[in-house]
Amino acid sequence: MTSQKTTQTMKPATAAKKLGVYLQATPAEFQEGAVSRSELNALQADPPQWLQDLRREGPHPRPVVAARLGVSIAGLARGGVTEPLTTAQIDELKQSSPEWLRRERATQAEVRREAARIRDKHAERDAGR
């Protein structure tokens, strides 16, 4: 009995998520076919021009927008941002610093402080064992 290795593939949406790009902005051939693990690794190791441009200029998916603005994805929704944004639009939001963005950044900073406090508390407890 011989076992043949099958090529592991993923849907374009999964590959786009792993690459940190907005699927609808990718080339049609990327959107239409399955992406193998080796193709994904090649795209990550040596990104083609279209991927470099998308990562630099956008439009960016919500997780990337949220990270660049320093807020949560839920914070984006509370701020009314539901569509992908370009780098220029993100920079414009940072410059104008609307009230919702300042509020969500403060909330995110508090969440991070609390997570650090809990992590430190657990580290102290574990060190005492």
pLDDT of 129 above 80: no
DSSP, collapsed to helix, strand or coil, labels residue 24 as helix
The dihedrals phi and psi of 95, each to the nearest 5 degrees, come to: -65, -45
The residues, ordered by sequence, that sit 6+ positions from 15 with a Cβ below 8 Å of its Cβ are 30, 35, 39, 40, 43
Average pLDDT, stretch 78-98? 95
Average pLDDT, stretch 103-122? 93
Which position has the higher pLDDT, 12 or 1? 12
- The percentage of residues in the chain with a pLDDT greater than 90, rounded to a whole number, is 85
Q: What is the mean pLDDT of the chain?
A: 91
DSSP, collapsed to helix, strand or coil, labels residue 26 as coil
DSSP, collapsed to helix, strand or coil, labels residue 20 as coil
pLDDT value of position 2:
54
pLDDT range class, residue 80, cuts 50, 70, 90: very high
Q: Are 34 and 1 in contact (CB under 8 A)?
A: no
Cα(73)–Cα(85) distance, integer angstroms: 13
- Alpha helix (H) ranges present in the chain? 12-19, 28-32, 37-45, 49-57, 62-69, 73-78, 87-96, 99-127
pLDDT of 69 above 90: yes
Query: Rounded to a whole number, what is the distance in angstroms from the first to the last CA of the chain?
Result: 52
- Please write the tens of the pLDDT for every residue from 26-63: 999 999 989 999 999 999 999 999 999 999 999 999 99
Cα(3)–Cα(76) distance, integer angstroms: 48
pLDDT of 92 above 70: yes
pLDDT value of position 20:
93
